[in-house]
Amino acid sequence: MGTNTTVGTGPGEVRVLLVGIDDYSTVDGLRSLHGCRNDIAAARAWLARRFGTRAVVRELLDREATVTNVTSGFAEHLAAAEPGDGALFWFSGHGTDFADLDGTYAATEPTGRYQALALADGPLLDKELNALLDAVAARGVPTTAVVDCCFSGGATRANDTADTADAADTAVPTLRAARFLPAPRSWRLRPGSRDAAAGHAEPPRHVLLAACRLNESAYERVSGGVVRGVFTQALLEALDGAPADSRLNHRDLLAAAAARVTAHEPGQHPVLAPLGAGGPADTPFPGGTPGSTGPHLLRYGGAGWEVDCGAAHGLRVGADNGPEFTVMPGRTATPVKATVRVHTVQADRCLVTPCGWTPDERQVYPVELSALALPPVGVSVDDTGDLQAALQLREALATAGPGGGPSPLLGLGAPRSEVRLTAAVSDGRVRIRPADDTPSVPDLPLDTASDARRAADCLIHLARWYQARDLAHPMSTLSGQVKIEITPWGGSRPLSPDADGLLTVPYAHSPEGCREPWVSISLHNTSRRTLWCVLVDLTDSYASHTVLFPGDFVGPGRRGYALDGEPVRLALPASRPVRPGAQVMDWLKLLVADTELNTLPFQFPAWRPGGSASERQTVAGLDGKWRLAPTGHRDAGPAATASGWGTRTVRLRTVVPRVGQAG
């Protein structure tokens, strides 16, 4: 059953299952491929160079790669990995898709289609592959899947989309061929096959590196006289181009490979999942302990140097100078202050020019936003109660940003009409108050320089939160194309907001006590095209996260469900007693785009006045180096042109009503 070479023992092994299929002649006479076995040979050669005898490799090629053999490869080979080992599944072949004809999986398939790997005798469906990979990862083994086929962005994800493409009739390609296989009529769904991960609301435990998005084709082409998958070749080139003493994490590796792929195939966009910071994506390839990462990446693409931050993140180019990004220290060999300046802003990325240095085109550089062309949030320090303490706070604000300068998010001394945050100092304390109806934070002590830095951190954190909440693109036609619908669990009619646009959901009184409300949250795409959506939850604790709907495509007329259709429990935070009048506010911000966006800037924790010094430093460092610009900014120059994204926001109040009160 395939080639199984066990060349290493003990902890630190990398167990690998390589599957490559060129010969599809037995599948209803449909076309074969020519570069998949070459991909597997190249991957195996890289593994030998990188891991030597620590690699434990099993290969399944062509007719050996049946559904039974691949499944057994997981159960017998990859599942033998132990904590301290790594596991890698690599597939090169055709991808296919099926229609969900009866709507059975509407909650987890928002476009009505789902994807599969085309094996030698039938499909291995996305949910089945997801379950196989997570079963290995559940053993405490870092697990990675590299999938080089059409529609591979949906190979292991729960919410899928695909638009069927016509398969070209190809012999040995003179230039390129798509790795797409129309689902043969003889292939049928196995009963219950998609129930393997039913109710699985948590993000995958493994990492997926996919050749393309869920609705795209992946190509193979002739390179140096040899047919290879464009994605596989780009991935291995990125690995070989990394410095000998470094290990790329999955996020950096995908960014480097994606730039190479789109340079050859502009319509093929590799995908990384899951995207969450500090999770599997930030582990070294093909496995290890999560490391730190910057919110954005600098890479060399088809149009030159680019950063994965664009207009959808609030980035704009001012009249004089574009925003600047600085390479994070300690990750790559660069000058002390290696910066790049933005000259063109697109919806999901920006094109940049290095400032006085020459980056290595083979590398990917983690960068953070260090200079902005947008006005800061207005802050006023009221010193009428304690002039000396107020001076100490101003000194802390002057050094709280990048490089020991002021934070670009804060504008100290803004005109009164533009003040968003007021810091009133008196009696050895500082009271930070917002100008609108958002909650105040607890008063903070202001006796020492450390206290002043903590107060500065708080102002930066709040400014970051406000910019995320207020992000808007009023000229976009996409803003009204997707609706956020919140429905009581078990109900059929969505809740309606009041005249002020506030949607209130009450706790329920019962003889057993107050019961938290359960709701279903769906994103209804009312347009006639497939759109990418992410739902950001901004809480009144000044946190922001994308747990409810981390980002996926939703098909025309279809719905994407938060938590894969599981109930969303609107409970008060543990710190707030459940008693009449208690409440919590959430701002649910939907971002809609034509393409996938980098969501890391939308993820940050709640403000914690008692947090450790390291936590405060982490928050302040990130907050001072990026910005989500509100509409109506005061740039002297025009806003960047980017119509491919839009937003809409729902204000949600969860309240414990008084007895006899409806809420």
Tokens representing 83?
A: 């904590």
Pairing of strands 502-506, 645-655: parallel
Q: Is the dihedral of CA 455, 460, 461, 467 positive or negative?
A: positive
Per-residue pLDDT for 161 more than 50? no
pLDDT of residue 496: 92
Per-residue pLDDT for 39 more than 90? yes
Angle 270-305-641 from CA coordinates, rounded to 5°: 85
CB 611, CB 541: distance < 8 Å = no
Window from 75-84, 580-589, 609-618 with minimum mean pLDDT: 609-618
* 170: Cβ contacts below 8 Å, ≥ 6 apart: 31, 177
Q: Environment class of residue 49 by beta-carbon count within 10 Å: exposed (0-12), middle (13-18) or buried (19+)?
A: exposed
pLDDT of residue 142: 92
pLDDT of residue 179: 67
Tokens representing 248?
A: 């790329």
Q: Choose among 383, 325, 371: nearest CA to 349.
A: 325
Choose between 54 and 643: higher pLDDT.
54
Measure the CA–CA gap between 41 and 57, rounded to whole angstroms: 12
DSSP letter string, 500-511: TSEEEEE-EEET
SS3 label, residue 649:
strand
Per-residue pLDDT for 4 more than 50? no
Measure the CA–CA gap between 111 and 555, rounded to whole angstroms: 4
Per-residue pLDDT for 506 more than 90? yes
Average of per-residue pLDDT values in the chain: 79
345-360 mean pLDDT: 89
Cβ density class 299-329: b for 16+ within 10 Å, e for less: bbbeeebbbbbbbbbbbbbbeeebbbbbbbe
Per-residue pLDDT for 171 more than 50? no
In this prediction, residue 371 has a pLDDT band, given cuts at 50, 70 and 90, of: low
Calculate the CA dihedral of residues 580, 581, 584, 586 and round it to 10 degrees: 120
Per-residue pLDDT for 444 more than 80? yes
pLDDT per position as a tens digit, 44-98: 999 999 889 899 999 999 999 999 999 999 999 999 999 889 999 999 999 887 7
pLDDT per position as a tens digit, 178-221: 766 666 666 655 544 323 333 334 556 899 999 998 888 899 99
In this prediction, residue 628 has a pLDDT band, given cuts at 50, 70 and 90, of: very low
Within a 10 A sphere around the Cβ of 550, how many other Cβ atoms? 20
609-631 mean pLDDT: 40
pLDDT per position as a tens digit, 221-265: 998 889 999 999 999 998 887 765 566 788 888 988 988 898 889
Per-residue pLDDT for 648 more than 80? yes
pLDDT of residue 186: 62
543-559 mean pLDDT: 93
Per-residue pLDDT for 269 more than 60? yes
Alpha helices in 399-526 (DSSP H): 449-470
Window from 68-77, 303-312, 431-440, 641-650 with minimum mean pLDDT: 641-650
96-125 mean pLDDT: 73
Per-residue pLDDT for 624 more than 70? no
Per-residue pLDDT for 35 more than 50? yes
Which residue type, as a one-letter code, is found at position 596?
E
Phi, psi values for residue 376, rounded to 5°: -80, 170
Measure the CA–CA gap between 590 and 599, rounded to whole angstroms: 12
How much is the pTM?
A: 0.67
Choose between 110 and 227: higher pLDDT.
227
What percentage of the chain carries pLDDT values higher than 70? 76
Helix 449-470 vs helix 387-398: angle between axes, to the nearest 10 degrees?
A: 60
CB 545, CB 536: distance < 8 Å = yes
CB 55, CB 47: distance < 8 Å = yes
pLDDT of residue 613: 42
Window from 189-198, 307-316, 352-361, 527-536 with minimum mean pLDDT: 189-198
pLDDT of residue 263: 84
Per-residue pLDDT for 618 more than 50? no
Measure the CA–CA gap between 390 and 422, rounded to whole angstroms: 12
pLDDT per position as a tens digit, 323-336: 788 887 655 555 55
In this prediction, residue 467 has a pLDDT band, given cuts at 50, 70 and 90, of: confident
pLDDT per position as a tens digit, 474-502: 557 788 899 999 999 999 999 998 888 89
Per-residue pLDDT for 543 more than 90? yes
Choose between 186 and 640: higher pLDDT.
186
614-636 mean pLDDT: 33
What percentage of the chain carries pLDDT values higher than 90? 39
pLDDT of residue 535: 96
Measure the CA–CA gap between 128 and 70, rounded to whole angstroms: 11
Calculate the CA dihedral of residues 307, 312, 316, 322 and round it to 10 degrees: -10
Per-residue pLDDT for 404 more than 70? yes
